[in-house]
Amino acid sequence: MKEVNQPKPKLEGKGLMLGRPVYADDLAPQNALIVKVLRSPYAFARIKTIRTEKALQLPGVACVLTYKDLPRNIITRAGQGYPEPSPYDKFVLDEVVRYCGDEVAVVAAVSEAIAEAALEFIEVEYELLEAVLDFEQAEGNRSVLHPEPEAHSKFDIGMDASRNIAASYRMNVGDVDAVLEQCEVVVRDRYYTQAQAHVMLEPHAISCYLDMHGRLTVVSSTQTPFHARRVIGMAFDIPRKDIRVIKPRVGGGFGGKQMTHGEPLVAAVTLKTGRPAKLVYTRREVFESTFSRHPMRFDIALGATRDGRIKAIDMNVLSDTGAYGEHALTVVMGAGSKPLPLYNKVDAVRFNSVVVYTNHTPAGAYRGYGAIQGLFALESAIDQLAEKLGISPAELRRQNMIAEGETSPIFKIMGEGGEGVAMTMDSCKLDYCVRRGMELIGWDRKFPRQTVGPNKVRGVGMALAMQGSGIANIDMASAVLKLNDDGFFNLMVGATDIGTGSDTILAQIAAEALNVSTDQIIVYSSDTDLTPFDKGAYASSTTYVSGNAVKKAAENMKRLIEIEGALKLRVAEGEVEFDGTTLRRKDGKGSISLKDLATGLYYHANQKQLVASDSYVGQKSPPPYMAGFAEVEVDLETGKIDLLHYAAVVDCGTTINPNLARIQVEGGLVQGIGMALYEEVRYTEQGRQLNNNMLFYNIPNRLDIHHVTVEFAESYEPSGPYGAKSVGEIGIDTPPAAIANAVYNATGVRIKDLPITPEKVLMALKQRRQ
């Protein structure tokens, strides 16, 4: 391999370092109207009256829109493939508002100051409704969030809006109750995970304008331009041919930009006024009015034989989707479908789940996508079981974890929103990941704890994880390659680089297939008019799904070049060799450079444009694997936790770009550490967010992350492009459980609700002493 498995620099790195205008707000028309949104101050209310006359009279105001001005078309903003496995339960603007921050009205003006002033002139009278703010009290609550008759799902997702259930799912293999009853050792416990904010550096930004043909053009910091086009069209009854969505450079997404947020609001302004318009979310709006991670409650039971064979797993989940049900079903299924196959030698397994509506900020896609929640519960319970058995947690995992050449019935039963696909693990180096991770953290010397001072103890803990590589039989990607007259190529992909470096690794894959250098590939990504379809950046799919599409397209292009080379050199097809710069007859009697061949095709004999394309839909979703190890130091007098070292060993198949893969894992680890120790979206009793800014919402900084080690296992996935699997999400999955286990091993107290704060540790220590 010459171009893949190489640490190539990011294609866009120099431009970003030079501060060139590349982001959505940079590219907005200079004369764009400034869009501002009036948002609900109440968690649940009906708009009795809304008067906009005074706002409209303000000089410089171009329009004020309420639910009365827009078509009443119900949509889902989820940004998933069609038909979406999420409920249709959202109007662009509605007379009912369902959380603090929900949209009430939209103002567009010639300046930000005028737009903000106009918001003050909108008169709204609300009828307050009884809010549902406790997700454990939501199901069957007398207050119903979605009584509107239009709310529905495209197919059965277990939705029952009359009981505040957005989705539900259950499955079982074997008789779990009977097997648990026969087990010699059983562990049962309850765990909670919290809402977590995405905190990407670039806020959501959108601009719209009508082109010379009157078509609506949307420039958006979206992860899913093709899905956004469909959602906008459905919201306003516009044919998709009349909408173009362009994704410029995106400054982070982490799932938060998979869904459609402000795009319909800005589109409504442009459609109403005919003028360019833009909306850049404030940081407060990003916190309050986009999405967060689904909070979940887990009731879990594990049963095993005395010698450590895990016989049964029972997992019951209650999930809070907030005011709207985007990703309600698929995230909760991820909480089961990703963790449960890790322990594939059980006789019985059961997964029950209910996802409820509450009057909180909606939940949605977030890196880890349910797996991180499920793994916190499962991997914590595994450690509890190991202690009860008197077996090392590392040894218990090694006895029961999935291995290369093995499978799990759950792969076939559970997908994302429906059935999955049966898979045998053609690549799984989890055994190596565990062994190497133990070496890196010094497990044998440090487990379970060390006393390092009169009030300081240290402990180590571990957790395993697996994810997927796209959604099998659903996610599709395409690629187009064009040969230019100097012998370089344009690669056009709908794949959405959101700062991950996917443009770079897709160029590397194309270059490897063509046998050229990566700098000969010029990438254009994500413009619904100019690039081929791609499902977007989610589900850890780009390297595997989009990468396979690029590889196939590049192999097609190489064949076209060799055919034209054979014609030029007057030999039969198959009688020339292409080394990346020159085509040579195999008999050694002639050659032509790619540059001369391409120029000839443009301007001289046998003139034609060489264009190759192809598409890919995965028939499987090979999981990447990870073993994560944490070493913590806990102050027994204050409960303060210092994360001294986090070691991660990942099997993601071949790393297309080792540097970018490492950055992906490191970034995921930091977000997982944030979820474990610092981050939580908190609300008042009235449902208002308490920490809706970066001063009070705590994410870890460099001083909190003392030492991180990331290594990759030598692995090759036969179905992946040059052996690659995904790496985008796996890094986030292990820190909550590994750190919780390390804290327990250090102190003897187990924190079962995230984040693991000093207050919780201190209170638990005091309770244990009593």
The domain that holds 729 is classified in CATH as 3.30.365.10
**Which residues have CB under 8 Å from 555's CB, separation 6+?**
513, 614
Average pLDDT over residues 339-344: 98
pLDDT at position 477: 97
pLDDT at position 441: 98
Whether 605 shows a pLDDT value over 90: the answer reads no
pLDDT in tens, 50-65: 999 999 999 999 999 9
Q: How confident is the model at residue 416 (pLDDT cuts 50, 70, 90)?
A: confident
- Looking at 10-19, 33-42, 437-446, 679-688, which range is the least confident one? 10-19
Q: How confident is the model at residue 641 (pLDDT cuts 50, 70, 90)?
A: very high
Q: How confident is the model at residue 654 (pLDDT cuts 50, 70, 90)?
A: very high
CA distance 229 to 93: 18
CATH assignment at residue 94: 3.90.1170.50
pLDDT in tens, 471-482: 999 999 999 999
**Which residues have CB under 8 Å from 633's CB, separation 6+?**
452, 456, 457, 458, 641, 642, 644, 746
Same domain, 731 and 600: no
pLDDT at position 255: 96
Single out the residue in 266, 288, 310 at which a domain terminates: 288
| Number of domains comprising the chain | 3
Same domain, 558 and 644: no
Same domain, 275 and 330: no
Same domain, 78 and 226: yes
**Which residues have CB under 8 Å from 88's CB, separation 6+?**
74, 75, 76, 150, 151, 152, 153, 154
Q: How confident is the model at residue 273 (pLDDT cuts 50, 70, 90)?
A: very high
pLDDT in tens, 56-92: 999 999 999 999 999 999 999 999 999 999 999 999 9
Q: pLDDT exceeding 90 applies to what percent of the chain?
A: 98
Whether 276 shows a pLDDT value over 90: the answer reads yes
pLDDT at position 575: 96
Single out the residue in 586, 617, 648 at which a domain terminates: 617
Which of 167, 168, 164, 165 has the alpha carbon at shortest distance from 143? 164
Same domain, 116 and 226: yes
Q: Is residue 247 part of a domain?
A: yes
Which of 446, 760, 759, 557 has the alpha carbon at shortest distance from 750? 760
Q: Is residue 171 part of a domain?
A: no
Same domain, 437 and 483: no
Same domain, 308 and 445: yes
Whether 530 shows a pLDDT value over 90: the answer reads yes
Tokens (6 digits) for 346: 């059980």
pLDDT at position 417: 86
Same domain, 400 and 503: no
pLDDT at position 769: 86
Query: What number of helices (H) and strands (E) belong to the chain?
Result: 19, 27
Same domain, 51 and 116: yes
**Which residues have CB under 8 Å from 670's CB, separation 6+?**
700, 705, 708
Q: Which residues pair with residue 71 across a beta bridge? A: none
Average pLDDT over residues 634-662: 98
Single out the residue in 288, 308, 338 at which a domain terminates: 288
Q: How confident is the model at residue 95 (pLDDT cuts 50, 70, 90)?
A: very high
Same domain, 237 and 218: yes
Same domain, 282 and 308: no
pLDDT in tens, 147-161: 999 999 999 999 999
Q: Is residue 279 part of a domain?
A: yes
Average pLDDT over residues 401-424: 95
Report which secondary-structure segment, H or E, holds 631. Answer: strand 625-635
Neighbours of 433 (CB within 10 A): 26
Whether 770 shows a pLDDT value over 90: the answer reads no
Q: Which residues pair with residue 322 across a beta bridge? A: 357
pLDDT at position 312: 98
Neighbours of 698 (CB within 10 A): 16
Whether 252 shows a pLDDT value over 90: the answer reads yes
Same domain, 433 and 549: no
Q: pLDDT exceeding 70 applies to what percent of the chain?
A: 100
Domain limits at 26? 17-129+201-252+257-288
Whether 418 shows a pLDDT value over 90: the answer reads no
Q: Is residue 46 part of a domain?
A: yes
